Amino acid sequence: MLKTISDFTLVAGPKVGTGALTLGFNLWLLHIWSPEQYGLFAICTTAIMLTDAILGSSIDMATLRLSPNRRETDATAAQETEQAALQMKVLVVAASLPVVWLAARPLSQILFHQPGLEVLIAVTMAGAVALLLLRSVLVHAQLRQRFHEYSLLEVIHSAFKFGGAGLLLLIAPKAAIHSVLVFFVIGPLTAFGVGMAMFRGHLLCSFRLQRERIAELFRHVKWYALSGGIGNLVGRMDLFILSASASLGSAGIFAAGQSFAGVPWLVASYLSVVLSPRILPHMEAGTCREFYLRVQIVLIAVAVLAIVLAIAVMSSALELLPAAFRESADIFLILLAGNLVSFATFPVALPLVMFIRPRFVVLMDCIALPVLFALYSLAVSSHGAIGVAWVTTTSLIVRGGLVQTFAWRLTGRACPPTVAPVGQTT
């Protein structure tokens, strides 16, 4: 337990700092940008995170699924698996670039309601690629429990991203949005370069194509990508539908509330870095139910306390928002409830289900996708951003409840020494 607390502190320290910088930076943008400008920025940064959540997370989860057990028995195979993961990201990006470029003009018209903003899409794509590369180095550190290095890379990432963007806006407050987003490319790329130099002895990068390992990873990635892709589309489609169906101003107001309500999810992602690699060892040891119960009790208690504190300080927090974004406070409170359920689900419950029964998540999200699309369309036309927020938080609560219930059932099942491959039954 003490090691878990120590590891979490090392991971959470810089990440908490990153979270504070993110909140402060977004609050600053609300005061210097209009809702329309902030809407453009939010769509681009959400697209970066969405790409990483769909493509990056699926490959990283497959790596976490395969590599830990091999490190003790076959270090070469574990190293080749990590090399294959990085190579797979590069191959997918290379295949996607022409498609994205050809679609840039229609995407600009649909999302931004105007042509000529293809440069935003180009910078967004570059930011997504940079983040994908950085995540591979972070997973490498995570697998070896080298959390000091993990923390250092996070600090470098945040320093160059927010430090550079903040300095630019201090010098030129009216700087173009794509100029600010350039630092969302520079930050992760710089940290990636430092990480590659730091771990050069482990040969994370290999010019020999690991075909067999890539094929092996793909057998796992396809499930994670399918479930993660649909799940993240379900979770992030609100902003994109609002932008396409309403206006950039509405999207900006919604995104402002969402950026603050999403803090619990950020904290959950920090916890997941430390807790998710412990799931399979507990499954094999037969102690997963006890581990799951201890974690969930703490998470739920923190979530309840957070909602009480948020309600108590909301009146004071309103003074921090400019008049154009006052509606964002209502959206924040609505979205917070759903995000707190996600906070209690993401660190252990969701990875557990994804490791053992990903088909459950795929089926659940496949059912939810068309239902939510219809509900969002109705909500936009009748209630605007507020209606979209209610649909989002309801879906997060329902999804989180289903995942936690199924995860609890899985912890009570006997687990053989080697957990069944993804997509198969035990």
What is this structure's pTM?
A: 0.77
Q: Give the pLDDT score at 19.
A: 74
**Count of residues making up the chain:** 426
Give me the residue spans of the domains in the chain.
2-411
What 3 state SS string does 318-348 have?
A: HHHCCHHHCHHHHHHHHHHHHHHHHHHHCCC
pLDDT at residue 41 in the model = 93
Q: Is the pLDDT of residue 417 over 70?
A: no
Residue 85 half-sphere exposure, CB side, CA atoms within 13 Å? Answer: 32
Indicate the pLDDT class of residue 170, thresholds 50, 70 and 90: very high
Q: Which whole number is the average pLDDT over 184-191?
A: 95
pLDDT in tens, 66-109: 765 555 555 676 777 787 888 888 888 888 888 888 888 888 88
d(CA 262, CA 201): 37
330 contacts 382 by C-beta, under 8 angstroms: no
Banded model confidence at residue 130, pLDDT cuts 50, 70, 90: very high
Q: For residue 90, which phi and psi values (nearest 5 degrees)?
A: -65, -40
Q: Which helix (H) or strand (E) holds 105?
A: helix 75-112
What mean pLDDT do residues 131-146 have? 82
DSSP state of 421: P
pLDDT (tens digit per residue) in 392-415: 999 999 999 999 999 998 887 644
Place of tokens 């999207």: 251
What are the pLDDT digits (tens) for 326-343? 888 889 889 999 999 989
pLDDT for 194 beyond 80: yes
What is d(CA 386, CA 328) in angstroms, rounded to the nearest whole number?
A: 9
pLDDT tens track for 334-392? 999 999 998 999 888 988 888 788 788 888 888 988 999 999 999 998 888 999 999 99
Write down the pLDDT at residue 424. Answer: 35
Instruction: Select the more confidently predicted residue: 69 or 267.
Output: 267
